[in-house]
Amino acid sequence: MSDPPSGQPAPDAPTPAPEAAAPAPEAPPPARGGVLRNRALLAGIGGAALVGAVIGGLIVWALSDDGAGTSSAAGNPQAAGQVAMCAAAPVANQVLPSVVTISARRGGQAGSGSGQIIRDGGYILTNDHVISLAANGGSVSVLYSDGHSSDAEIIGRDPSTDLAMLKAADASKGYPVIAIGSSAALEVGDPVVALGAPLGLYSTVTSGIVSALDRYVPVPGDDVTHHLIGAIQTDASINPGNSGGALVDCSGRLVGVNSAIATVPNSAGVSGGGSVGLGFSIPVDLAMPIADKLIETGQAGHPTTGLQVQELPPEMARASGTEPGLFILAVEPGSPAVKAGLKPGDIITKIDDKPARSSEDIVVATLTRSAGDTLQITYLRSGQTATTTLTLAAA
């Protein structure tokens, strides 16, 4: 990834932005369904410079390297209860030929990350933050585990979920496609293996377990927040440069795309940027449908609500005698919001019975849904509470 702070290229070694001293780390979040929204600083593990502010004692990095469910014995022959860890050597032999190191360049800036071949024809899945540097007038190349390199082109990006698709110029070389597994089959404690190019050290393999499931991890990028939804948490060692690389089960099947790490800041609130056993991967069950759309159309095709909102924080809500939520600034003519009866001036307080506090709550609610799916919206109008059903439409 390329994760320069404030739009500037990041150095090879992470260079944190100045921060005030952070409080002591909080207790770990729950094993499932955790949200790191208020406890993590999120940046890239592709090349990684620190982005944002330290919140709650953890720092989350996107994993690029800038240079300027139920598991069963049938599905996983080395499932938890049979062995503590995967036999990494056969997994590495099987998977590494499908894993690539990605270099992105524009002008004097450069960054690197990882990816994997998911379809014949040289189609490579990676993180958006790995290649964002090259998205406007830059260049991308890939390095295979046998030392061969090739130019590649960006054929689709989805910054919201931090996914992107490349197509290698040497598609005729016939490198193997990685086997696709299922993230829904994972259980906490299942062994996994991570493969990629941390700090530019290509064909690196580490092993660990699934530490938690269903994390929500927002990762600030240069000009957009990446949303890791239902993320897999792992203690397999991943570091800057692992971004976009593979997290696989003991059968060598892709179960996640490594995307971010959390680190504990020092007394000055600064992180060293290395792995402390808190890594996060995009689940393959979310990634593959988006990857297919990026290959077919170049776009992820997330649906729209037609809403333009502004956060109404608790302090402002108290001052105005209302509830905190999302103040509707405007609705697009003919949009799902209009058809649901929502109007400017309404205050959205819940989305699908969950409190609405951030404008990103609406974005997150659409990322795992398709046109035709519905959201239950609870809102305030003239002091009265009402609920409506909003049917999402194609953007």
Catalytic residues: 129, 162, 243
| Residue of 21, 79, 36, 62 whose CA lies nearest to 261 | 62
Whole-angstrom distance, CA of residue 160 vs CA of residue 158? 5
Whole-angstrom distance, CA of residue 139 vs CA of residue 117? 19
The H-or-E segment that residue 214 falls in is strand 204-220
N- to C-terminal Cα separation, the chain: 27
SS3 state at 318: helix
| Residue in the structure block whose two tokens are 């995307």 | 259
Task: Report DSSP letters for 301-357, one per residue.
Answer: ---B--EEEEEE-HHHHHHHTS--EEEEEEE-TTSHHHHTT--TT-EEEEETTEE--
Contact (Cβ atoms closer than 8 angstroms) between residue 112 and residue 67: yes
| Residue in the structure block whose two tokens are 């002591």 | 24
Whole-angstrom distance, CA of residue 200 vs CA of residue 245? 12
What lies within 8 Å, CB to CB, of 352 at 6+ separation is 365, 375, 376
| Residue of 6, 80, 86 whose CA lies nearest to 50 | 6
